[in-house]
Amino acid sequence: MIRYLTAGESHGPALTGIIEGFPANLKIDMDVVNHELFRRQQGFGRGGRMKIEQDRIEVLSGIRFQKTLGSPISFILHNRDWKNWQEEMTSGAGKSQQPITRPRPGHADLSGALKYDFDDIRNVLERSSARETAMRVAVGAFAKQLLAAFHIRIFSHVLQIGPVKADPNVISDILKTDEINTLADRSPVRCLDKTASEEMVQFIRRTKQQGDTAGGIMQIIIRGLPPGLGSYVHWDRKLDAQLAYALMSIQAVKGVEIGAGFGAAEKTGSRFQDEIFYENDRYVRKTNNAGGIEGGMSTGDDIVIQVMKKPIPTLMKPLHSVDMKSKEPFLAHKERSDVTAVPACSVITEAAAAPVIANAVLEKFGSDTMEDILAAYQTYMERIKNK
């Protein structure tokens, strides 16, 4: 099974990642990995940092002649901004010239400083920063290449930023195609509804002028799964639970909804359940309120998930806070940040979901070499055809 670790401070020398348990003999295209990192850096509403960085990783182990070895894959991403932070962020001797003592409401600042007994909030914010997600996107890019061998694709797009929503009627046809990411990548906010996309940009502009920030909702679509990934037999093997865990762990995510989500509460059972038919030698459901997961297992239909990211807590017009040194009321600390990172978060959700699905594939079909895993997959697909 795939496990992974990420390390690195936002303004430290580098971010690093290690993936353990990745099967051998999968061809890896590093351009694909670096393209995913590029996608994460896009999106209207990002701050100055993305103009400094050009995220690319260098692989240090686990791959030879473009193929995985089954050994841990480790990689490094050098922070270009490091050159501006060498003294403040050194691992050698030194002392901060500008300790931060005014926690931002909504950030990890206050609880983190209390928990780890820090007098300088920078010790918290450097690691709690969403800069860490660059490593998760790299991990996701490896996992996506594994999934591609089984024809499993992961897409995402933005449904809402602030009060501006994509029109479900405008985007419904696109959602049936495999063009979701291609078209979403063309929008400055990854929204498939062009009118809403423009309104979102205007909304972000206005929000920035007001010194404020915005959150939003994105949708992930995972397509091409066989039925039966995950399991109902034990709580921690349920695919929806594992996906929710991975998605909730993304910085500033406050909600995850599967399929019809909370909207299901107002439906009666007869209107909510996806009825089963048998057509052209296979089982079909004509609706997908369950979002592609029943009893903690994939049904074979698209897995559909909505993820909500709250507004970023670093405000240029800061909110009330307390100075941790003097205990006097002060306005919270402000530093360079994004107005919204919802479009980037959309790419990150794909990456967070990918290792979860990859693990469900490995759990079902084996984990050593691609050849063995693919053979087990084909046997299973043949067997369920006749069921």
Binding site for ligand EPS (CB under 6 A): 10, 47, 49, 81, 129-131, 133-134, 312, 314, 336-338, 341
- CA nearest 26: which of 378, 358, 382, 379? 358
Q: Which is nearer to ligand EPS, 194 or 310 (CB)?
A: 310
Decide whether 217 or 362 has the Cβ nearer to ligand EPS.
217
The CB-of-125 to ligand EPS minimum distance in angstroms stands at 6
Q: How many whole angstroms separate alpha carbon 83 and alpha carbon 287?
A: 53
Nearer to ligand EPS, 26 or 341 (CB): 341
Q: Which is nearer to ligand EPS, 11 or 364 (CB)?
A: 11
Nearest distance, CB of residue 130 and ligand EPS, angstroms: 4
User: Considering the complex, what minimum distance in angstroms separates the CB of residue 11 from ligand EPS?
Assistant: 6
d(CA 210, CA 53): 26
| 143 vs 312 by CB, closer to ligand EPS | 312
CB closer to ligand EPS out of 77 and 222: 77
**Shortest distance in whole angstroms from residue 166 CB to ligand EPS:** 23
CB 341 to ligand EPS: min, Å: 6
d(CA 237, CA 76): 31
As to burial, measured by CB atoms within 10 angstroms (0-12 exposed, 13-18 middle, 19+ buried), residue 346 is buried
Supply the minimum distance, in Å, between the C-beta of residue 297 and ligand EPS: 34
Nearer to ligand EPS, 133 or 321 (CB): 133
CA dist 125 and 312 (Å) reads 13
In sequence order, the 6+-apart residues with CB closer than 8 A to the CB of 10 are 79, 125, 126, 127, 129, 131, 132
Angstrom distance (rounded) from CA 295 to CA 232: 5
Least separation in angstroms between CB 124 and ligand EPS:
10
Q: How far is the CB of 314 from ligand EPS (least distance, A)?
A: 6
Output 2 or 37, the one with its CB closest to ligand EPS. 37
Q: In the complex with ligand EPS, which residue's Cβ is closer, 102 or 153?
A: 102
Shortest Å distance, C-beta 114 to ligand EPS: 19
Q: Which residue has the tokens 């393209």?
A: 35
